Amino acid sequence: MVAVGLLAACATPPQSAVNRYVSPVGVPVAKLAMRASLSGGVDAYGVYVFNDGENCKGPQVAGAGRPAGNAPASVNLAAGKWATLQFVTLHPGGQYCAIRWSFQPSAGRTYLLTGDAVGTTCRAGLLDATDPDSIKPVASAVRRDAPNSPCMPLAVAQAARNAKRDSGQPGAGKDEANLRPGASADDLKGLIPQ
């Protein structure tokens, strides 16, 4: 999976009420689809959209699922401005694993937040799935969480992404996207307009 993050679950989620995400109206939008593969005792996953994406504040539930359940319905994101998303997996005993991404959605495009979890680790990637025959990493996507920084400032996250691309690290800057091993057409269900 391109643009993937890996993080060990080591905390208990805060206990506070979280509002449901409401897609914007009256503005240009992009579609966000959500898919996950869970195993190894993972109870559920959730995808959040922050109403204050710059500071990773005001999480709103965009979708949730369980290991054997259907994928959540797609939502719309306001296009042309930064959006911050979080993929969270819930584990037995109240432990969780979370990964945050920010990106700039473009009007009329379809994006896919895909994640998986095994045991106490999770990964999540953000892909442009507008053309299902040519799924690509989202060029503007930046990872916002890091060790000791659950919400890295956007400028710092962009600089870190650019440094990785410029370093020639394996996988840095490649335009090829891969779903998880063993992915099938069902993983892309709902991305292709009928």
Measured on CA atoms in the order 178, 76, 38, 60, is the torsion positive or negative?
A: positive
Residues 6+ apart with CB under 8 A from 7: 97, 98, 99, 121, 122, 145
Q: In this structure, how many other beta carbons lie within 10 angstroms of the beta carbon of residue 8?
A: 11
Q: Average pLDDT for consecutive 10-residue bins of the chain (194 residues)?
A: 38 65 97 90 91 94 89 96 95 86 97 89 94 95 90 92 74 42 49 47
pTM, whole model, 2 decimals?
A: 0.78
Residue-level pLDDT at 170: 52
Residue ranges covered by each domain of the chain: 19-171
Residue 152 Cα distances to 9, 46, 73, 139, 167, angstroms: 18, 21, 29, 18, 20
Residue 98 Cα distances to 81, 105, 151, 188, angstroms: 23, 21, 11, 22
Q: How far is CA 75 from the centre of its chain?
A: 13
